[in-house]
A = this chain, B = another copy of it.
Amino acid sequence: MDPISTSIKDQQLIEKRRRQMIKGAITLFKEKGFHRTTTREIAKASGFSIGTLYEYIRTKEDILFLVCDAIYQQVQERLVAQIDLTNSSVEHFEKVIRSYFYLMDDMQEEVVIMYQEVKSLKKETKEYVLQKERDMVAMLERVIDTCFPGTISLLDRELLANNIFIQGQMWGFRRWMLQKQFTLEDYIDRQIYFLMHSLTVK
């Protein structure tokens, strides 16, 4: 299900070119945001001409979608890779959360792009992207449920999953505030510390 039109027939080439495009675009979006980046710059950063760029997309917004989608995809994949739903130990939970925080550190800039630019997508594509975010939160909820069975209400589980989720992102988009006082390790340790208490409250 590929919603982005192209006149190119070679599917492998499409993927290759789009990968180039996404890479180029992310670099530029990090630097100046979506609106201040021109399609010509994206073409150049991608290593091909403006004409070629438009063989693989229809509008500039398509690029934003491609970028957002790719970022969410990557976050999701890397998060999923850490999760073992057959392992219900508290240690596993901690490991998952910890790696999620590391992941967010690794993808700081990408996360900022998402935060600031998703709103520029149009209704349908935005909905599609936000669904991915819902999925990730649901995943965290499932991990909570697996590792702390029975103790947390559905609603609280959702709340805590959301808290975890944005605390991860916060490390990136509030780094101007946090990263002067905290090392990454400190940040993670303390967040997990409080989280554990919230989860084991009687």
Contacts and interface: CB of A to CB of B under 8 A. Distances in A.
A178 B178 CA distance: 25
Contacts of A187: 159
A181 B116 CA distance: 24
A6 interface: no
A190 B115 contact: no
A116 B174 CA distance: 13
Contact of A182 (B116, B159, B201): B159
Interface residues of A, number: 38
Contacts of A198: 194, 197-198
A194 B198 CA distance: 6
A198 to B, nearest CB: 4
A177 B134 contact: yes
Nearest to A120: B33
A178 B155 contact: no
10 contacts: A35-B120, A116-B116, A133-B177, A159-B187, A160-B194, A162-B170, A162-B177, A194-B201, A197-B198, A197-B201
4 tightest Cβ-Cβ pairs between the two chains A and B: A35-B35, A194-B198, A197-B201, A159-B190
